[in-house]
Amino acid sequence: MLRTITLARRLPTTPTPTLSSFTSWKTPSPAFSFFTTTISTPSHHNQHRNYACQIHHPTKLGQLRAKLRAFGQGRISLDIHHSPGLALLTLTNPEKHNALTGKMMAELADCVDLLETVTDPKRKEVVDEEDVGQLLKGSGLVLKNKGVVVQKLDQESLKMLKGGLVGVIVTGSQHKSYCAGLDLSAAKTTLLTPQAGSEMSALMVSTLTRFMRLPIISIAAIEKAAIGGGAEMTTFCDHRCISDQAKIQFVQTQMGVVTGWGGASRLLNLVSRSQALRLLGSAEPIRGGQEALKLGFAEAVSPVGKAVESASEYMQQYVWETAPTAAAGQDSEEGGARRCVEAVRAMKRIVSFGLDHERIERVSELEKDLFKGLWGGPDNLARVEAATAPKKK
């Protein structure tokens, strides 16, 4: 029997127009349009699988991204060559424990645009430095190469991304925190309405779903706290490395809301239904790497302050068939033999395809709807006010 599969690819169109409700804008990043290619493949299941993110929303996601880009500080950075085969994506808003602002949400989506482009088996053959520059036009995404900020990707860097990138490590800056969810100080005057909550949820669910489907392997390196939306941000990676003193806590019920970034649907793929219900419904935290290992939530544990290093060590199994000699140094490939990058990426595609994407999308859509009904409501506003009130000395 043949099954028809609809695939989606993203192509640049014209920039998103300025929204009339705002008076000051940075240059928006390009909008993207979807087209579908239909192929047939043998299968005993007669069902359709659409790899475009199916999160419905009345406003186009490109416009939402431009709208949110105007709010808040912080930044997203991507070190394209943290070590051979591995990139490092860093959430940076240290004064707010790396909580996300609207600006950071937009830049995270920009980062996924880039990773999709350079790992797409068809597009990567024709994309060049000019295309990438246009793709990221107006974005605040910070690009690095071996820790050094670069203004654009040169031909050599782009070639390395296309042909050598196997995985990405996601972490928070300065070891202070992984992510404290939404930056409430930036949200109080702009995002605490049901409509804004719905828009934020639509963009974040889309971005994190797209990230999950990348053909590269990801690991979250978690130091200290991952709270609320930050806990949701631990669930979109393939693996988790958690430090001994980390705390992952879904505090949404304490804030009078539900998960709004797709965290509940993804958590159900990591732990049992009863454990997911306990973690989500009671706001009981996961304390430290050992507890996370027992739950099946994490695959690796690290000493305090070493989550990125331990995550990198865990990811070496995907990079090397034979590891380089220790004396050669971290960035050397002397004495080593790399795995076939395309084979590893293809295996990730197979595993991703095996997930029940339709169920994930249905649950995520329900999350979004329930989140909109609670976000910005009286109970939520009162709890946000209490959480952001100055602490009494």
Domain-embedded: residue 151:
yes
C-alpha angle 184-75-96 in degrees, rounded to nearest 5: 35
- Tokens encoding 213: 């489907």
Q: Tell me the residue ranges of DSSP E strands in 85-164.
A: 86-92, 142-145, 148-150
User: How far is Cα 56 from Cα 49, in angstroms, rounded to an integer?
Assistant: 16
pLDDT band (50, 70, 90) for residue 323: confident
Instruction: Give the burial string for 317-329 (b: 16+ CB within 10 Å, else e).
Output: ebbbeeebeeeee
Amino acid 329: pLDDT: 57
Domain of 162, CATH number, reads: 3.90.226.10
CB 303 within 8 A of CB 244: yes
User: How far is Cα 380 from Cα 374, in angstroms, rounded to an integer?
Assistant: 7
CB 318 within 8 A of CB 339: yes
Instruction: Give the burial string for 275-286 (b: 16+ CB within 10 Å, else e).
Output: bbeebbeebebb
Strands 286-287 and 320-322, sheet pairing: unpaired
Domain-embedded: residue 198:
yes
pLDDT, one tens digit per residue, over 117-149 is 999 988 878 888 999 999 999 999 999 999 999
- Tokens encoding 112: 């996924």
Amino acid 148: pLDDT: 97
Domain-embedded: residue 93:
yes
Domain-embedded: residue 7:
no
Domain-embedded: residue 30:
no
Domain-embedded: residue 240:
yes
What is the domain extent for residue 62?
56-324+337-388
pLDDT, one tens digit per residue, over 200-239 is 999 999 999 999 999 999 999 999 999 999 999 999 999 9
Domain-embedded: residue 393:
no
pLDDT, one tens digit per residue, over 294-310 is 999 999 999 999 999 99
pLDDT, one tens digit per residue, over 251-260 is 999 999 999 9
User: How far is Cα 279 from Cα 106, in angstroms, rounded to an integer?
Assistant: 28
Domain-embedded: residue 102:
yes
pLDDT, one tens digit per residue, over 324-340 is 766 555 566 666 789 99
pTM: 0.84
Mean pLDDT, to the nearest integer, of 62-70?
90
Task: Give the count of beta carbons closer than 10 Å to the beta carbon of residue 174.
Answer: 12
Domain count along the chain:
1
Instruction: Give the burial string for 198-208 (b: 16+ CB within 10 Å, else e).
Output: bbbbbbbbbbb
User: How far is Cα 173 from Cα 181, in angstroms, rounded to an integer?
Assistant: 14
Which residues does 41 contact at the CB level (< 8 Å), separation at least 6?
A: 2, 3, 5
Which residues does 370 contact at the CB level (< 8 Å), separation at least 6?
A: 258
**What kind and span of H or E run contains 249?**
strand 247-249
